[in-house]
Structure 1
Amino acid sequence: MAGNVIRLERNALAVDVSPLGGAILSAHWHGISILAPTRSPGLASQVLGAEACFPLVPFGNRIEGNSFRFGEMDYTLTSNTADPLILHGDGWLQRWTIARHEPDGIVFNCRHEASGASPFAYEATETISLDDDRLTLSLSVINRAAETLPYGLGFHPYFPRTPATRLFTQALRYWPERENHLPGTAGPIPDDLDFSTGAALPDRWLNNAFDGWNGQARIEWPETGIALSVTADEAFRHFVLYSPSASDNFFCFEPMSHRPNAHRDQDGGGLVALPSHAQLRGTMTLRPKRNGTYQTHSSADKRTPGDGHRC
């Protein structure tokens, strides 16, 4: 559909974006994929078949029982996908408007009104900009409701997973997964999920939350000779790591301002109580570089969209 796919370019970076869900559809550096187009329930996937990253607003992940209590009020939400629990907020399921468009950048806006399905009324802005070997994603939300409400932000990128992929990152705590893909009780990080000195992803189902993140990560793909640094500002000190298995061609490393199911945590889990017209914002930057032997048109880059809807 005309207008649903917009190409951004700067030097060696080429990024396709869409107003459908404010999504990034693909991202290449020197012709090599640094994001993995994957099927999801998002609007871009519904129309175009896949997406490689989408914004999480006004929260990420799930809310247990599709309900929460804030202050003296009880709020109920309606499931928004085939999942029984409301998933990833509203932004990824709406068409965003284009506020500004340049060859190497774009600004999307999204307004959402409160309804019986959700108490959140807000205006979100997503800025996608390319610099020399750098892709920067910024997301902000303004509470347009009359009352103070808890808000969160995040990004949901899909990264290529190859047999030799290695992840480097640090966190303080981890949550195992329990029923309905919700976090269990926090505990120490298991040995096979300790990426502080770099490690391969374990060959098993992964869908876990981490907090105390230092805002830095590095992904290495020896097959393509590419390494990607992921940096986030102070707004993002949590992340979710999702990977169905080693045989899937993607994994997700999702920077978030809050923990999954934070609406049900007494401490707020990182959510920010925004008074009417107050704003929350966060930024994530991806920087690819050459890392060892560079192979053009490697088999690892010949991908078909996977199915990444569980995280």
Structure 2
Amino acid sequence: MSVPLLHLQDRLTRLSIAPELGASLVNWQVSATDQALLRPADEAALNSGNPRRLGCYPLAPWSNRIAEGGFLRPDGWLALTPNTGHDPYPIHGSAWQQAWRVEHHSKRRARLSLDSAVPFAYRATLDIHLHEGCLSIDLHATHLDSSATWYGLGLHPYFPRYPDTRLQAAARSVWLADEGGLPSRQAKVPEDWHFATAQALPAAVVDHAFSGWPGDCVIEQPGAGYRLVCNARGAGHFLLFCPHEQPFFCFEPVSHPINAHHLPGRPGLRLLQQGETTHLGFSVQYQPL
């Protein structure tokens, strides 16, 4: 399988993008050393056609899982079905499972777009820009369906994990589940997950949403010789996924917590009328140590 790629490059870094694979970022690397700044994707990962094996992909028109087989819109129930073979819930919207068009491509910029009819009509655009080692991503979604609908956005980057990886990302609370299901209540962030100051990633598995996040994050990679200074816009929450004994972790800026469509007050979701737009932005600045 041959996957067409776009390539961007600034003075410090280079980036490859696979528009046909859900607008996924494939590899972001330091030009001088080939150091991977996102989880590296080899040919096998690229040829799998699966964005989950690449560096980052957009989440629209929602992030993570939705329970109960759908959700209620102002004019009635919208039924949803699972969209993967491994998860009982529809997950991460529909944008990551469709091919995007290339609207613009230059040395340091690309704009991709998607007109989707699934699970309702919307248009998404993804603007990607490299400048002096800073990767900037802006995701917009415009509602095109005649029925008003709840929207959420996110990005799903995979970062390399080393023994000395450290994370700084302050949050006010974490979402927990009472009986092992989807999160249903907020709680104080436990000490092992308290990243108000930089600390090592937990040894145990973490797969949770955190709220009350101001949008700032620092990922320190001392042994690899760099840090990433991040800032999100339109994302008051993040998801942290640290799988067991894997060389990566996910830090996902999102507009809403998991299953927000069924949480009281629908935290972080926006009800869009036809023609209205919502936006999420994320910048990641590479800094050599």
CA positional deviation for 1:4 = 2.0
Closer/same/farther in 2, CA of residues 49 and 85 from structure 1, 3 Å limit: closer
Closer/same/farther in 2, CA of residues 77 and 210 from structure 1, 3 Å limit: same
The one-letter code sitting in structure 2 at the alignment partner of 1:183 is P
Counterpart-to-counterpart distance in 1, 2:172 and 2:184: 16
Counterpart-to-counterpart distance in 1, 2:273 and 2:78: 17
Closer/same/farther in 2, CA of residues 184 and 265 from structure 1, 3 Å limit: closer
Q: Contact 2:24 / 2:51 at 8 angstroms: preserved in 1?
A: no
Closer/same/farther in 2, CA of residues 127 and 138 from structure 1, 3 Å limit: same
Question: Which residue is equivalent to 2:27?
Answer: 26
The answer to whether structure 1 residue 104 and structure 2 residue 108 are counterparts is yes
**1:7-18 → structure 2 map (5 Å cutoff):** 7-18=7-18
The one-letter code sitting in structure 1 at the alignment partner of 2:62 is F
The one-letter code sitting in structure 2 at the alignment partner of 1:236 is A
Counterpart-to-counterpart distance in 1, 2:156 and 2:39: 11
**1:107-256 → structure 2 map (5 Å cutoff):** 107-114=111-118, 118=119, 120-177=120-177, 182-233=182-233, 235-245=234-244, 247-256=245-254
Counterpart-to-counterpart distance in 1, 2:142 and 2:226: 37
| Partner SS for 1:33 | coil
Paired residues, number: 283
| Partner SS for 1:192 | helix
CA positional deviation for 1:161 = 0.5
Q: Contact 1:177 / 1:183 at 8 angstroms: preserved in 2?
A: yes
Q: Contact 2:2 / 2:47 at 8 angstroms: preserved in 1?
A: no
CA positional deviation for 1:179 = 6.5
Output one character per residue of 1:142-189: Cα deviation in whole Å (capped at 9) or x when no partner: 000001110111100000100000001101110125667622321000
Q: TM-score, normalised by structure 1?
A: 0.86
The one-letter code sitting in structure 2 at the alignment partner of 1:133 is G
The one-letter code sitting in structure 2 at the alignment partner of 1:205 is V
Question: Which residue is equivalent to 2:71?
Answer: 68
Q: Contact 2:215 / 2:235 at 8 angstroms: preserved in 1?
A: yes
Q: Contact 2:73 / 2:148 at 8 angstroms: preserved in 1?
A: no
| Partner SS for 1:186 | strand
The answer to whether structure 1 residue 53 and structure 2 residue 56 are counterparts is yes
Question: Which residue is equivalent to 1:95?
Answer: 99
Which residue among 21, 36, 39 is the counterpart of 2:39?
36
Q: Contact 2:22 / 2:51 at 8 angstroms: preserved in 1?
A: no
Output one character per residue of 1:98-133: Cα deviation in whole Å (capped at 9) or x when no partner: 00011111111011114xxx2x21000001111111
Q: Contact 1:125 / 1:141 at 8 angstroms: preserved in 2?
A: yes
| Partner SS for 2:197 | coil
Extract structure 1 runs of 4+ deviating beyond 3 A: 42-45, 177-181
Counterpart-to-counterpart distance in 2, 1:92 and 1:125: 12
Output one character per residue of 1:63-83: Cα deviation in whole Å (capped at 9) or x when no partner: 012211122411110111011
The one-letter code sitting in structure 2 at the alignment partner of 1:98 is V
Counterpart-to-counterpart distance in 1, 2:188 and 2:102: 43
CA positional deviation for 1:85 = 0.4
Q: Contact 1:23 / 1:44 at 8 angstroms: preserved in 2?
A: no
Counterpart-to-counterpart distance in 1, 2:69 and 2:4: 31
| Partner SS for 1:263 | helix
Closer/same/farther in 2, CA of residues 181 and 226 from structure 1, 3 Å limit: farther
CA positional deviation for 1:282 = 1.5
Residue segments in structure 1 that go unaligned for 5+ positions in a row: 292-311
Counterpart-to-counterpart distance in 2, 1:48 and 1:271: 24
Q: TM-score, normalised by structure 2?
A: 0.92
The one-letter code sitting in structure 2 at the alignment partner of 1:79 is P
Output one character per residue of 1:265-285: Cα deviation in whole Å (capped at 9) or x when no partner: 230121000110100012100
| Partner SS for 2:49 | helix
CA positional deviation for 1:214 = 0.8
The one-letter code sitting in structure 2 at the alignment partner of 1:141 is A
